[in-house]
Structure 1
Amino acid sequence: MQAIFDRAVRHSPFLSMIINREPDFVLDIEAALNDPIARSWVDDPEMPPARRLRISRRRLALVTAIGDLSARYSLERVTGLLTGFADRALDVAIRTAIAERVPDAEPRGFVAIALGKQGSRELNYSSDIDPIFLYDPATLPHRSNESVEDGAARIARRVVELLQARDGDGYVLRVDLRLRPSPEATPPALPVGAAISYYESQALPWERAAFIRARATAGDIALGEHFIDAIQPFVWRRSLDFGTIGEIRSISSRIRDHYDDVQQFGPGFDLKRGRGGIREVEFFAQVHQLIHGGRDVALRAPATMDALAALAEAGWIGQEDASMLSDAYRLLRTIEHRVQMIDDRQTHLLPEKPEALANVAALHGLESGEALLDLLRPHVAMVSKRYDALEGEGDNALPADPERLRERLEAAGFADGEGAVRLIDKWRGNSYRALRTAAAKEAMEAALPGLVDALAASADPHAALLRLDKLLTGLPSAINFFRLLEAQPSLAALLSAILSHAPTLADALGLRVSLLDGLIDASALDPVGEVPALITDMTPRDRSGDYEALLDHVRRVVGEKRFALGAQIIAGASDPLAVSAGYARVAEAAIEVIARATIAQFAQVHGTVPGSELVILALGRLGGGALTHASDLDLIFLFTGEHSAESGGAKPLGAVMYYNRLAQRIIGALSVATAAGPLYEVDTRLRPSGAQGPISVSLAGFARYQREDAWTWEHMALTRARPVFGSDAARGAVTQAIDAVLQGARPERPIAAEAARMREEMAAHKPPLGPLDAKLLPGGLVDLEFAVHVQQLCHRSGFSTDLGRAIAGLIEAGLLPPALASAHDFLTRLLVTLRLVAPDGQPPAEASRALVARAVRAESWNAMLASFDTTRQEVRDCWEGLIRPTKGE
């Protein structure tokens, strides 16, 4: 330890001064190293607060330096100690300032929000602190002869004076209040309500980055946390304004330009602002956090090295990049501390003079200034290279001259260069509402080169360009749309594929362009999660929001999930069978979240029905867990308990009325469109007594109806009935009642004959949409489903709500031909794909046919058509073979 003290005395006048002034503290340095804050803190009530803070700071500066120089303390420990002291000193200053003005008052209603390195607990050795002072006019103590605004301003000025005034004992902290809103025009302390309004409506993009590291640090912490919570939507946006990213990058560029003389590495290099320095590591992390942190809470780590680790863990940056940047950051910050330890100056510059540079090196334990530069050089070069890659390439704007633009477009791959020029010229004019502002035009020009190349590489560039034009026609603003494409070039290729092949998705994008945001996540093209995980996604983190806000949140999430699932098919990333199951899981999760919230809201007025609960039964494709993008939801609403019961609450209702009104509320919540978009069409015609019966019936009434009065087609529907909402006990009771009916507790009927008549009526009233209607054409999925359900009911075998499993069971029992398993898979893949590519059942455009063939696992379009004909013939033969004996009846 003596060698460390010798090095400190020899190379740091500041540390030497403290050692001379604190001999008793130095003698007990081992104890101080083990408990630095407590041992450094002066707690003499007879001493003025400002002097206590100055001496405490001086002692902590010494013990932190010794711990650092001796390698007893890591960088995180050093910065944590410095930040912990700053937090405590700031709190003491606030309490002192309030007590001086209003003795014996509770120190509440005034808070310091730490930004920058104090906010992330990363203060450097001689750092400024950058707080924002906020107050609550309703609770801040103030003198009777002054306004609360004046009192708050005086408290703020006194806090600054206590911390940064100097005397023979030094100072406590330098305080910079310039990060508050409009510092040139606002008082030093702001009302918390006004601050929230500012950040919600007027704040500049760079302020978002600043608030990544915001923390309520001193004073009325509860008030500060209220403020932080209120502005989270400003900081972390799901639909990101990519202009913010450009703004953060431009800050770095302006710093490079302004400090050009200290950018190049060598003597005089700025460790903080220099090219490849500390700030570029911080900005590298923050840019990625701003892009992805709105959707992933785990990325919102304030500290730089924590953020890099989180980004690597989530796969947004490479593990090697995170490790190398963290190592560089640790070294740069450590040498920054050495520079500041020498004279306790807030500097970040390596000395220019050789002897001064050698002194910094010696303080760090190196032999020479050259050795220090050699240590830093590879890290600085690596950071600069990583950050330059983040900055992007140089200008690649499309030509303004029509002839040069046509040549550029034709060279890219547009066959009709003239037509493409005409469209782009229209976008550059003022005829589109979304593109009238200078900011929108700037964003478009920045994104166009990459977008044009992606469109040109798509299967049908002209069709994609026309759909993009239609999309732009309907947008209120195109700024975010183009900035997103500029910031995420890989999205342009996927967007081009969607515009080329999927009118269903293109139309959805035209109604809600923010759907594209959902594709920036690395997992967007992975299968969607299981129902519990989807329920978590659809449940707002802020549970205090109102019912309508929850519905909008669910609609947004469902829209994003469905759009991403469709994009998986277009991108060839997922089997349409898996996508179909994903659609169903999304719908089931939405039903759970919306039903739960609707029930809670309904109970506030009407209470609950004792011994009773709602059960929602899914039938059709949802019951079978296999939806398409366009599927509606076939639902039956049941309730357990006695139908004669009555609810409690301020406005009690009988059970039948209660559950019918509740069911109507849930149906409305699922189907009524709002600004966030629609969810699903809900079909309840499969309920007992059809459209003429009550929407919700008791479980006992439902079971009795199915046993005694239901028609064959209703029993066929029951084979895919599955509870999707209700307690485990209630779901079990419903499943038990259904199983009893399917296993024979029902009237004897000529099942095949009645099914045949029903299929004929369906064919007459609902003909196929076109020559590729995989559902309604003879030998399509409806015929296949009828064949399955007839065999299930006739033989009481092969029951499973999953049609594929039911077919497998019937094949194993010898009740269906083996070819029907592959027929089911082929027809389902085709149906799910064509709902996106050719929803009218007509053959898609030539460019999209290879995509359809790929989706159904055919070698070519012609091979797909041949398989379609063969498959339909196999299904038709099976179906007609089942109903042929009934023709004479």
Structure 2
Amino acid sequence: MNAEQLQKTLHASQYAEQVLANHESLLQQDYAIDQFLKPLSADYIHQLVISTLQDIQDETLWMKTLRILRARLMFRWIWQDANQLTDVVTLTQELSDFADICVQVAKDFARIPLVAKHGEPMGYNGKVQDLIVVAMGKHGAQELNLSSDIDLIFAFDEQGETNGRKCIEVQQFCILWGQKLIYLLDHITADGFVFRVDMRLRPWGDGSALAISHVALEKYLSQHGREWERYAWIKARIITGGQEGYELLEMTRPFVFRKYVDYTAFEAMREMKAMIEREVQRRNIEDNIKLGAGGIREVEFIVQVFQLIYGGSKLELQDRQCLVSLRHLGEAELLEPQAVLDLEDAYLFLRRVEHAIQALNDQQSQALPTEPELRARISDTLGFADWDSFMQTLNEKRVKVIYQFEHLIKENEPDSLLENYSQLEKQLDAVLDDQAKNLVHEFWYGHAIKKLTAKALQRLKTFWPHLIEAVLQSENPQMALMRLMPLVESVLRRTVYLVMLIESKGALQRLVKMATVSPWICEELTQYPVLLDEFLSMDFELPKRSDLEDSLRQQLLRIELDEVEDLMRVLRLFKKSNVLTVAASDVLAESHLMKVSDALTDIAEVTANAALQLAYQMIVKKHGYPLDSEGQRCGLEHNAFAIIGYGKVGGIELGYGSDLDVVFIHNMDEQADTDGIKPISGFEFAMRVARKFVSLMTTQTLDGRVYDVDTRLRPSGDAGLLVTSLRAFEQYQLKSAWLWEHQALVRARSIAGEQCLRDKFEVLRCQILTQPRDEAYVRSEVLKMRQKMKDHLGSSKEQKKDGIFHLKQDAGGIVDIEFMAQYAVLAWSGSNPDLAHYSDNVRILEDAARTGCLSSDDATALIQAYLRERAESHRLALANQSMQVNAADWYDTREVVCKLWQRLIDPTAMSALD
């Protein structure tokens, strides 16, 4: 072995001298000689530890053997580092690989006596529970240094009990398991230790339970997780625990990385910077190359702040390793190329210095030594002529880090808005009437403000001039301010939203514009402030069906079936947040009407499918599976249950406040019992599924309800059964249904449930609609139904005299066009079956033109009138206004509709415009 390299190793490390003195045969070890000049793979390290401990059952001998192995490997790593035979990335990776296998073998060794005493830890799900070990910090990032401790968190998947003679709870078993694991690695013996183990990053820190269940951890992070814990969990990595461990880690990702750009991280960033500066000053640690100015932590902090801000939308920024994420920041153009190079260069140098410090005495220290001898050892090891030249280079590196830290993570410039606040107030005062001024005064001197914490009040005072500036730039400042003030009051106890609006000027401007256009959106946000999370970060693109399905599936995945309140809350917030996204796209991006309706309908269908699946599973869990009409078991995929949407959802024309008109059908054997412990008939099973679906969708809570559901269009209406078999539905429609029920069927479409049954319904629907009918009879019945609706829902004579036009119900309105499309299907599809294919009015009218039933000009005129009137109905809904508009503004559109109505259905229709 190279004598010069040995001398340099021993000069670099007093600890290496001790190791060599205690293990004289170290230099003759075959594995050491062979491996001194090349990297160690994770597999090699794994096999080395396993083979070294093989067949050792005595605890004392096991601990001694692993500690000796650790000393020998440490000697090798110090040798390589001192002689520059490795690099920082390779060295930290090997150290981390060694830590991983040490944790794994310690976990396995600790388990044996516990199982012998208490039996296997069994979860309530019937599975044997494993100890999930989460590596945090440098260990999690696979960046361990020469004398790192390892930060761990212990968890398990599910509560339960052991199955041995001395039965204990799974949590207690895992606590004992973790305690033994720590002892095996951390306990100092005559041979030293393997790794110092730090458990302070676990929920609630010191004094809390050493092991936590998946559910408890999820609850902790969602309800109590603090900002610094988001930084900590960036580096989290699963060492043991299998699939359950990876699922647990996946659960933590939304806590760490917000779905969209996280503006709150900016304020947390400034607070963290101030905290670091205070700590450096208090502890006088300027010469600490980790914690001092320009140190390792500042590099890591720069990277982590960007990860928290952008990691939810830029998945490549979720990497645990500092250098990898630093390069990604450059590729994403969030950092200038020179900044990336400077920070990378400084980080690698600082980590080498850190290793040189820790190699001295195997101590976890990052403080530069004061003793001349130790300084000489470090400067020699790092290749410098003397300490002064080393410090000159070190300071050059640190200055570059400080520069980036100060310029990328700096306090806001003095807020010019605050300086000009009095001027803004004068401008606002000029545009507010007395009533509005009183409301503002009552807000600032009301009880809600008096109850605020000092920090919340300061945030509000900082936000207020930003709000004033934004509303003064709007078309109607008083309207915007008055609509937004209830929203501001509703988030006073969660002022993080105000921070988000301060940081994102664009988001605040969008919010003001939305308030001006749509009080409905303001009311939704005020009533359910949690929706602000989505609103402030949304990109205003209409959601895609596949993304909606994936999102809802992921949200429901980890909620148990019996946690009905939580399931309903997910459904409610999913629906509301996505409808809000559509509304924002409608207002701000001016999305096309039909695409808006498509998106609103998609949201309803995805929600209905999920609710039906949940309802079906809940009834199955209690009563078992039913049989279908062919005697086959109706599993979750082949459930022989479907939901038919009527009206707006059936016609793919949902608006913002639309309810869901639905009919339930099934294809089960109504007489056969289910196969569960508490069997019920197939008929009762179908009824319970329908009731549970309605309950999930309509139950009113603090979060509102998902949708209003109307089931009155089922066979025989309110007097009929809630659920009908497909065969009974067919018999009713063919033999007993009124024509208006066939008219309703024109706008019917299967929206949820088992696909085979849905396909059968669509075939049946076309069969019913394409029956030959007498046109005169159809015309007469449609006219009667339309007149009833006008009498009950249209404008009164007095309103008509005052120039009022009900956009939906009056002559020439939306319903007239819908009835003409339905008339076309009922009267003409007997000889033109293609007319019955679609359920939406636009495509029905297009098909009527294509088949020659209507002229192209007439169909186009009706479609244009329909789209114009529906677009206005959407606008009015967003503005919380009624459907009654100025008749004079709609004369031309109504005239087109009424002329066609006269020609097709009612020769006296023109009198409606007189």
Q: TM-score, normalised by structure 2?
A: 0.78
Q: Which amino acid aligns with 2:896?
A: E
Change in 2 beyond 3 A, CA 1:53/1:638 = same
Counterpart for residue 845 of structure 2: 807
User: Is the CA contact (8 Å cut-off) linking 1:75 and 1:330 kept in structure 2?
Assistant: no
Aligned to 1:250: 271
Matched, 1:623 2:650: yes
Deviations 1:296-333 (A, max 9, x none): 99976544456678899xxxx93453987776665444
Alignment of 1:463-474 (within 5 A): 463-472=479-488
Distance 2:871 2:603 in 1: 18
In the alignment, the residues of structure 2 paired with residue 359 and residue 628 of structure 1 have an alpha-carbon distance, to the nearest angstrom, of 75
Q: Is the 8 A contact 2:518 2:878 kept in 1?
A: yes
Q: Return the alpha-carbon distance in structure 1 between the equivalents of residues 841 and 517 of structure 2.
A: 29
After superposition, residues 397-796 of structure 1 pair within 5 angstroms as: 398=418, 405-411=421-427, 415-416=431-432, 423-432=439-448, 436-472=452-488, 477-523=493-539, 525-530=540-545, 533-534=548-549, 536-538=551-553, 539-545=555-561, 546-572=563-589, 574-612=591-629, 613-641=640-668, 645-744=672-771, 750-767=777-794, 771=804, 773-796=806-829
Distance 1:879 1:92, change over 3 A: same
Contact 2:459–2:499 (CA<8 Å) still a contact in 1? yes
CA contact (8 A) 1:12 1:363 kept: no
* Worse overlay, 584-593 or 301-310: 301-310
Whether 1:163 and 2:198 are equivalent positions in the alignment is: no
Deviations 1:359-382 (A, max 9, x none): 465389xx9759956984796267
Amino acid across the alignment from 1:801:
S
Provide, for residues 506-538 of structure 1, a one-character-per-residue CA deviation record: whole Å limited to 9, x for no partner.
111221111111124454x11112157426425
State the SS of the aligned residue for 1:831: helix
In 2: Cα distance, 1:102 partner to 1:783 partner: 76
Q: Contact between 1:112 and 1:132, CA under 8 Å: does it hold in 2?
A: yes
- Distance of 2:204 and 2:312 partners within structure 1: 26
Counterpart check, 1:82 vs 2:120 = no
Displacement of 1:432 after TM fit? 2.1
Q: Distance in 1 between matches of 2:842 and 2:879?
A: 24
Deviation of 1:138 after TM superposition, in Å, equals 7.0
Structure 2 CA distance, aligned partners of 1:387 and 1:4?
45
83-92 or 573-582, larger mean C-alpha shift: 83-92
Q: How does 1:260-409 map to 2 (within 5 A)?
A: 271-274=289-292, 277-287=295-305, 302-304=320-322, 318-321=332-335, 330-343=344-357, 344=359, 346-348=364-366, 359=380, 362=383, 369=390, 372=393, 376=397, 380=401, 383-384=404-405, 387-388=408-409, 392-394=412-414, 398=418, 405-409=421-425
Task: Give secondary structure in 1 for the equivalent of 2:556.
Answer: coil
Quick check: 1:192–1:227 contact (8 Å CA) kept in 2? no
Q: Check 1:476–1:714 CA distance in 2 against 1; reply closer, same or farther (3 A cut).
A: farther
Selected match of 2:901 from 875, 879, 883: 879
CA distance in 2, matches of 1:746, 1:789: 13
What's the counterpart of residue 840 of structure 1? Answer: 882
Q: Which residue number corresponds to residue 127 of structure 2?
A: none
Once residues 830 and 657 of structure 1 are traced to their aligned partners in structure 2, the CA distance between those partners, rounded to angstroms, is 44
Report SS of the residue matched to 1:637.
strand
RMSD over equivalenced CA pairs, Å: 5.0
Relative distance call for 1:689 and 1:289 in structure 2 (3 A) is farther
In the alignment, structure 1 segments of 5+ residues that lack a partner are: 845-864
Partner in structure 1 of residue 635 of structure 2: none
SS at match of 1:259: helix
Deviation of 1:59 after TM superposition, in Å, equals 3.7
Change (3 A) 1:418 1:307: farther
Q: What is the alpha-carbon distance in structure 2 between the residues aligned to residue 194 and residue 711 of structure 1?
A: 54
Q: Which amino acid counterpart does residue 747 of structure 2 have in structure 1?
A: R
- Aligned length in residues: 849
For residues 741-796 of structure 1, give each alpha carbon's deviation from its aligned partner in whole angstroms, at most 9, with x where no partner exists: 22226677621222122111101111259957532232222111111121222221
Question: How far is 1:437 from its partner?
Answer: 3.5
- In structure 1, distance between residues paired with 2:165 and 2:415: 57
Structure 1 residues 33-42 or 582-591, which shifts more? 33-42
C-alpha spacing 1:118/1:276, structure 2 compared with 1 (3 Å): same
Q: Distance in 2 between matches of 1:719 and 1:151?
A: 61
User: Which secondary structure does the structure 2 equivalent of 1:321 belong to?
Assistant: coil
2:863 is matched with 821
CA distance in 1, matches of 2:450, 2:739: 55
Post-superposition Cα deviations, 1:57-103, rounded to whole Å, max 9, x if no partner, equal 34434555677789987755433322222233355567778999999
Supply the distance in 2 between the matched residues of 1:158 and 1:730 (Cα, whole angstroms): 56
Deviates more, 1:865-874 or 1:438-447: 865-874
Q: 1:678 deviation in Å?
A: 0.9
Q: Hey, what does 1:854 align to over in structure 2? A: none
Q: State the secondary structure of the residue aligned to 1:477.
A: helix
Q: Does the CA contact (< 8 Å) of 1:102 and 1:142 recur in 2? A: no
Structure 2: distance between partners of 1:596 and 1:322: 50
Compared CA separation, residues 789 and 327, structure 1 to 2 (3 A): farther
Q: Which moved more, 1:29-38 or 1:413-422?
A: 413-422
**1:206 maps to 2:228:** yes
Whole-Å separation in 2 of the counterparts to 1:307 and 1:481: 28
Q: Is the 8 A contact 1:623 1:721 kept in 2?
A: yes
Residues 174 and 428 (structure 1), Cα distance of their counterparts in 2 relative to 1, 3 Å cut? farther
Contact 2:231 2:256 in 1 (8 A): yes
- 1:631 is displaced (CA, Å) by 0.8
Percent identity between matched residues is 25
Q: Which runs of 5+ in 2 are unaligned?
A: 122-129, 630-639
The 8 Å contact of residues 616 and 638 in structure 1, kept in 2 or not, is answered as: yes
Give the aligned residue type for 1:380: V
Q: Deviations over 1:728-747 (max 9, x none)?
A: 22111111111112222667
- Tell me the distance in 1 between the aligned counterparts of 2:757 and 2:544: 25
Q: Which amino acid aligns with 1:441?
A: L
User: For 1:669-699, what per-residue CA distance to the aligned partner results, in whole angstroms no more than 9, with x for missing partners?
Assistant: 2122223321111122222222322222221
Mean Cα deviation higher: 126-135 or 494-503? 126-135
Change (3 A) 1:323 1:221: farther
Deviates more, 1:659-668 or 1:405-414: 405-414
* In structure 2, C-alpha distance between the alignment counterparts of 1:667 and 1:630, rounded to whole Å: 18
Give deviations 1:102-136, integer Å, cap 9, x for gaps.
99998989886543222333323332323457899
SS of corresponding position for 2:468: helix
Mean Cα deviation higher: 686-695 or 603-612: 603-612
Alpha-carbon separation, structure 1, partners of 2:406 and 2:747: 58
CA 1:722–1:193 in 2, change beyond 3 Å: closer, same or farther?
closer
> How far apart, in 2, do the equivalents of 1:96 and 1:643 lie?
57
**Secondary structure of the residue that 1:675 maps to in structure 2?**
coil
> 1:765 is aligned with what amino acid?
H
The secondary structure found in structure 2 opposite 1:776 is coil
Check conservation: 1:99, 1:107, Cα contact below 8 A.
no
Q: CA deviation at 1:624?
A: 1.8
Q: Letter of the aligned partner of 1:33 in structure 2?
A: P
Whichever residue aligns with residue 831 of structure 1, its letter is S
Return the offset for 1:599.
Answer: 1.1
Residues 1:33 and 2:55 are matched in the alignment: no
